[in-house]
């Protein structure tokens, strides 16, 4: 009986809380993933999961269309897709909303060289009513899944989030 081995390596990095207002509709964070140099070249898939807890705080509670938080990973690769999630936030609701957005990429790594993937994650809001989205907590989870049986350790992987 053949068994498959899970070669997936994961790293989670939390981002600093921030706020979006109907005056400042968008913000961008830069994410850098580094894989330590390996003896042989290899290819891998890179899965990015953005997990967040956000709360809509209207300036004046009024009934209306629910505001939307949009999380987007713009295309950085040829023939890539834009990865976008639209998350409806509850109008006038004090409870935070938990949500996730996903992005998938292919990475070819050369032998004896650090392998790097970089991406931008954009957060934006759309609301008819003035208010603030408090991004109370958010993080990116990076999953590296090398092809052809290549194995990595968690020590080989690092993730950095920076403001842009």
Q: Pick the residue with more confidence: 30 or 129?
A: 30
Is the confidence at residue 19, as pLDDT, over 60?
A: yes
Q: Which of 37-51, 78-92, 108-122 has the lowest mean pLDDT?
A: 78-92
CA dihedral 22, 24, 26, 31 (to 10 degrees): -140
Q: Pick the residue with more confidence: 129 or 41?
A: 41
Q: Pick the residue with more confidence: 4 or 61?
A: 61
% the chain with pLDDT above 70: 87
Dihedral angle sign, alpha carbons of residues 99, 70, 133, 118: positive
Q: Write out the CATH class of domain 9-163.
A: mainly beta
Contacts of 83 (CB under 8 A, 6+ apart): 72, 73, 101, 102, 103, 104
Q: What integer pLDDT is reported at residue 85 of this predicted model?
A: 86
Q: Which helix (H) or strand (E) holds 136?
A: strand 131-146
Q: Which of 17-21, 30-34, 137-141, 149-153 has the lowest mean pLDDT?
A: 149-153
Mean pLDDT of 65-81: 73
Q: What integer pLDDT is reported at residue 63 of this predicted model?
A: 72
Q: Are residues 1 and 128 in contact, defined by beta-carbon separation less than 8 angstroms?
A: no
- Please list the residues that pair with 141 across neighbouring strands: 12, 49
Average predicted confidence (pLDDT) for the chain: 85
- pLDDT tens per residue across span 75-109: 666 555 567 788 888 765 567 788 888 888 889 99
Confidence grade of residue 57 (pLDDT, cut at 50, 70, 90): confident
Q: Alpha-carbon distance 15 to 164, whole Å?
A: 13
Q: Pick the residue with more confidence: 91 or 20?
A: 20
Q: What pTM, to 2 d.p., does this model score?
A: 0.84
Mean pLDDT of 33-42: 94
């Amino acid at each position: 009986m053949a068994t498959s081995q899970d070669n997936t390596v994961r790293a989670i990095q939390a981002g600093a809380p921030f706020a979006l207002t109907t005056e400042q509709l968008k913000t961008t964070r830069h994410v850098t993933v580094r894989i330590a140099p390996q003896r042989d070249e290899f290819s891998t898939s890179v899965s990015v999961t953005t997990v967040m807890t956000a709360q809509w705080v209207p300036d004046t509670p009024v009934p209306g269309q629910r505001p939307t938080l949009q999380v987007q990973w713009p295309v950085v690769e040829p023939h890539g897709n834009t990865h976008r999630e639209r998350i409806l936030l509850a109008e006038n609701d004090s409870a935070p909303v938990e949500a996730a957005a996903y992005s998938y990429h292919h990475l070819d790594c050369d032998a004896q060289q650090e392998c790097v993937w970089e991406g931008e994650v954009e957060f934006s809001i759309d609301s008819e009513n003035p208010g603030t989205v408090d991004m109370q907590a958010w993080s990116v989870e990076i999953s590296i899944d090398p092809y052809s049986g290549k194995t990595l350790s968690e020590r080989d992987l690092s993730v950095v989030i920076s403001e842009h």
